[in-house]
Amino acid sequence: MKERICGRRNMPKQILKPFFEVDVHLEGDTCTLKPTLDEVQSAINRAASHVLKSTKNVQNWNQKDQPEEDREPFYDWIAKDKEIVKVILLLTGSI
């Protein structure tokens, strides 16, 4: 997913399936999208939020010998990683 979002221009051309399908309705001078861009962006934001929240109950394997109360959740490690934070910011502000 990271390569699709932050891909390099010199990468070989591939046929990629879209993340979302949007219908375009043309009526006279009016063009409408269904779902709207706001709805698509909201779905992206919710997905990113749910993926992040799911890591709060996951712990790194290298902590298995530590007492449960001393283990750091995977979420804390992710939140400190600058590359991951950068991709999340790109996703949540993508449209």
For every one of its 95 residues, what pLDDT tens digit does the chain have, with 9 covering 90 and above?
Answer: 555 555 555 556 667 777 778 899 999 999 999 999 899 889 888 888 888 888 888 887 888 888 888 888 888 888 888 988 888 888 777 66
pLDDT at 93: 75
Specify the pTM. 0.63
Integer Cα distance of 71 and 64 in angstroms: 8
One-letter amino acid of 91: L
pLDDT, position 3 = 57
User: 59 with 73: CB under 8 angstroms?
Assistant: yes
Judged on CB neighbours under 10 Å (0-12, 13-18, 19+), 35 is middle
pLDDT for res 44: 84
